[in-house]
Amino acid sequence: MKNSLLPFSHVYLSSASPRRRELLEKIGLWVIRLPSDIDETVYDNEKPESYVIRMAQEKNRNSRFLATTAIPVISADTAVVIDDKILGKPKDKQDAHAMLKMLSGRTHKVISAVCVSLNDKEQTRVSTSHVTFAELSDEEIELYLLCGESQDKAGAYAIQGIGATFVTNLSGSFSGVMGLPIYETMKLIRELSS
Protein backbone atom coordinates (compact mmCIF):
# COMPACT_ATOMS: atom_id res chain seq x y z
CA MET A 1 0.00 0.00 0.00
CA LYS A 2 1.43 3.35 -0.99
CA ASN A 3 1.48 6.03 1.68
CA SER A 4 -0.22 9.10 0.21
CA LEU A 5 2.16 11.37 2.14
CA LEU A 6 5.19 9.90 0.38
CA PRO A 7 6.08 9.64 -3.30
CA PHE A 8 7.31 6.02 -2.85
CA SER A 9 5.77 2.76 -1.73
CA HIS A 10 9.13 0.98 -1.33
CA VAL A 11 12.38 1.95 0.39
CA TYR A 12 15.69 0.27 1.02
CA LEU A 13 16.78 0.14 4.66
CA SER A 14 20.49 -0.07 5.34
CA SER A 15 19.95 -1.77 8.69
CA ALA A 16 19.11 -5.12 10.22
CA SER A 17 17.22 -3.38 13.03
CA PRO A 18 13.70 -4.74 13.45
CA ARG A 19 12.72 -1.48 15.18
CA ARG A 20 13.69 0.70 12.22
CA ARG A 21 11.89 -1.62 9.84
CA GLU A 22 8.79 -1.58 12.03
CA LEU A 23 8.75 2.23 12.16
CA LEU A 24 8.86 2.47 8.36
CA GLU A 25 6.22 -0.21 7.90
CA LYS A 26 3.91 1.58 10.35
CA ILE A 27 3.81 4.59 8.04
CA GLY A 28 2.89 2.36 5.11
CA LEU A 29 6.23 1.67 3.41
CA TRP A 30 7.38 -1.64 2.00
CA VAL A 31 10.91 -2.19 3.34
CA ILE A 32 13.68 -3.99 1.49
CA ARG A 33 16.58 -4.61 3.86
CA LEU A 34 20.18 -4.04 2.77
CA PRO A 35 22.12 -4.33 6.04
CA SER A 36 25.56 -2.77 5.91
CA ASP A 37 28.73 -4.00 7.54
CA ILE A 38 30.95 -1.12 8.61
CA ASP A 39 33.47 -0.39 11.33
CA GLU A 40 31.57 1.48 14.06
CA THR A 41 34.60 2.55 16.08
CA VAL A 42 34.39 6.06 17.53
CA TYR A 43 37.35 8.21 16.49
CA ASP A 44 39.49 9.86 19.17
CA ASN A 45 37.90 13.18 20.22
CA GLU A 46 34.95 12.62 17.84
CA LYS A 47 31.83 14.48 18.96
CA PRO A 48 28.64 12.39 19.34
CA GLU A 49 26.73 14.27 16.62
CA SER A 50 29.65 13.95 14.18
CA TYR A 51 29.86 10.25 14.99
CA VAL A 52 26.18 9.44 14.26
CA ILE A 53 26.27 11.50 11.05
CA ARG A 54 29.38 9.67 9.87
CA MET A 55 27.88 6.27 10.73
CA ALA A 56 24.57 6.98 8.97
CA GLN A 57 26.37 8.18 5.85
CA GLU A 58 28.83 5.27 5.79
CA LYS A 59 25.99 2.75 6.18
CA ASN A 60 24.11 4.40 3.33
CA ARG A 61 27.12 4.43 1.01
CA ASN A 62 27.94 0.82 1.92
CA SER A 63 24.46 -0.38 0.91
CA ARG A 64 23.77 1.99 -1.97
CA PHE A 65 25.73 0.06 -4.59
CA LEU A 66 23.28 -2.85 -4.14
CA ALA A 67 20.21 -0.67 -4.59
CA THR A 68 18.22 0.59 -7.55
CA THR A 69 18.83 4.34 -7.65
CA ALA A 70 15.15 5.08 -8.26
CA ILE A 71 14.19 3.90 -4.75
CA PRO A 72 15.32 5.76 -1.60
CA VAL A 73 18.01 4.19 0.57
CA ILE A 74 17.56 4.99 4.27
CA SER A 75 20.22 4.55 6.91
CA ALA A 76 20.46 5.76 10.48
CA ASP A 77 22.58 5.70 13.58
CA THR A 78 21.71 6.49 17.17
CA ALA A 79 23.84 7.33 20.19
CA VAL A 80 22.89 7.61 23.83
CA VAL A 81 25.02 10.39 25.29
CA ILE A 82 25.67 11.44 28.87
CA ASP A 83 28.45 13.75 30.06
CA ASP A 84 29.56 13.97 26.39
CA LYS A 85 30.25 10.21 26.49
CA ILE A 86 28.68 7.89 23.92
CA LEU A 87 27.09 4.84 25.52
CA GLY A 88 27.14 2.13 22.89
CA LYS A 89 25.76 -1.38 23.09
CA PRO A 90 26.78 -3.08 26.35
CA LYS A 91 29.55 -5.68 26.15
CA ASP A 92 28.03 -7.78 28.92
CA LYS A 93 25.66 -7.68 31.89
CA GLN A 94 28.10 -5.72 34.08
CA ASP A 95 28.56 -3.11 31.36
CA ALA A 96 24.77 -2.80 30.95
CA HIS A 97 24.35 -2.39 34.72
CA ALA A 98 27.01 0.36 34.78
CA MET A 99 25.29 2.22 31.91
CA LEU A 100 21.87 2.11 33.56
CA LYS A 101 23.38 3.24 36.86
CA MET A 102 24.95 6.19 35.02
CA LEU A 103 21.55 7.12 33.49
CA SER A 104 19.66 6.68 36.77
CA GLY A 105 18.00 9.87 38.02
CA ARG A 106 19.51 11.96 35.23
CA THR A 107 18.73 13.42 31.82
CA HIS A 108 20.67 12.14 28.83
CA LYS A 109 20.63 12.91 25.12
CA VAL A 110 19.69 10.52 22.35
CA ILE A 111 21.12 11.69 19.04
CA SER A 112 19.88 10.04 15.85
CA ALA A 113 21.14 10.80 12.36
CA VAL A 114 19.23 9.68 9.30
CA CYS A 115 20.73 9.65 5.81
CA VAL A 116 18.63 9.25 2.67
CA SER A 117 20.01 8.82 -0.83
CA LEU A 118 18.11 8.82 -4.11
CA ASN A 119 19.34 9.12 -7.69
CA ASP A 120 22.93 9.84 -6.60
CA LYS A 121 21.82 12.61 -4.22
CA GLU A 122 22.27 12.29 -0.47
CA GLN A 123 21.05 14.29 2.51
CA THR A 124 21.39 13.85 6.26
CA ARG A 125 19.43 15.21 9.22
CA VAL A 126 19.92 14.93 12.97
CA SER A 127 17.31 14.57 15.69
CA THR A 128 18.29 15.21 19.32
CA SER A 129 16.02 14.17 22.17
CA HIS A 130 16.39 14.54 25.93
CA VAL A 131 15.33 11.59 28.09
CA THR A 132 15.07 11.71 31.88
CA PHE A 133 15.24 8.53 33.95
CA ALA A 134 13.82 7.96 37.42
CA GLU A 135 16.21 6.94 40.18
CA LEU A 136 16.86 3.23 39.67
CA SER A 137 17.81 0.88 42.49
CA ASP A 138 20.35 -1.88 41.89
CA GLU A 139 17.49 -4.36 42.28
CA GLU A 140 15.41 -2.65 39.56
CA ILE A 141 18.41 -2.64 37.24
CA GLU A 142 19.11 -6.33 37.88
CA LEU A 143 15.46 -7.25 37.28
CA TYR A 144 15.50 -5.32 34.02
CA LEU A 145 18.67 -7.04 32.89
CA LEU A 146 17.02 -10.44 33.48
CA CYS A 147 14.45 -9.72 30.74
CA GLY A 148 17.27 -9.50 28.17
CA GLU A 149 15.97 -6.28 26.62
CA SER A 150 19.19 -4.36 27.26
CA GLN A 151 21.26 -6.59 24.99
CA ASP A 152 22.22 -5.01 21.67
CA LYS A 153 20.71 -1.64 22.66
CA ALA A 154 22.64 1.62 22.83
CA GLY A 155 22.61 2.80 26.44
CA ALA A 156 21.37 -0.66 27.53
CA TYR A 157 17.64 0.14 27.31
CA ALA A 158 14.74 0.07 24.87
CA ILE A 159 12.25 2.93 25.17
CA GLN A 160 9.68 0.95 23.17
CA GLY A 161 9.76 -1.88 25.73
CA ILE A 162 10.06 -2.35 29.47
CA GLY A 163 12.73 0.36 29.49
CA ALA A 164 9.90 2.88 29.04
CA THR A 165 9.03 2.34 32.72
CA PHE A 166 12.24 4.20 33.66
CA VAL A 167 11.42 7.33 31.64
CA THR A 168 9.94 10.24 33.58
CA ASN A 169 10.27 12.77 30.76
CA LEU A 170 10.97 12.79 27.03
CA SER A 171 11.59 15.98 25.09
CA GLY A 172 12.00 15.30 21.40
CA SER A 173 11.26 12.43 19.03
CA PHE A 174 10.06 9.08 20.38
CA SER A 175 10.88 7.42 17.04
CA GLY A 176 14.30 9.11 17.12
CA VAL A 177 14.99 7.52 20.51
CA MET A 178 13.92 4.17 19.03
CA GLY A 179 16.53 4.65 16.30
CA LEU A 180 14.88 6.34 13.31
CA PRO A 181 13.39 9.84 13.47
CA ILE A 182 10.36 9.47 11.21
CA TYR A 183 9.62 13.18 10.70
CA GLU A 184 13.16 13.86 9.46
CA THR A 185 13.13 10.70 7.32
CA MET A 186 9.90 11.67 5.55
CA LYS A 187 11.14 15.24 5.05
CA LEU A 188 14.35 14.00 3.39
CA ILE A 189 12.49 11.61 1.09
CA ARG A 190 10.14 14.37 -0.03
CA GLU A 191 13.00 16.83 -0.60
CA LEU A 192 15.07 14.36 -2.62
CA SER A 193 12.14 13.31 -4.80
CA SER A 194 10.95 16.82 -5.67
What is the radius of gyration, based on Cα positions, of the chain?
17
Choose, from 77, 120, 138, 152, the residue flagged as catalytic.
77
The amino acid present at 185, given as its one-letter code, is T
Sorted by sequence, the CB contacts under 8 Å of residue 134 that are 6+ apart come out as 104, 105, 166, 167, 168
Sorted by sequence, the CB contacts under 8 Å of residue 131 that are 6+ apart come out as 107, 108, 109, 110, 159, 167, 169, 170, 171, 172, 177
> Could you confirm whether 152 is annotated as catalytic?
no
Backbone region of residue 88 per phi and psi (left: phi > 0; alpha: psi in -120 to 50; beta: other values): beta
Sorted by sequence, the CB contacts under 8 Å of residue 34 that are 6+ apart come out as 12, 13, 14, 63, 66, 67, 73
In sequence order, the β-bridge partners of residue 29 are: none
d(C-alpha 80, C-alpha 14), whole Å: 20
Which sequence positions are flagged as catalytic? 77
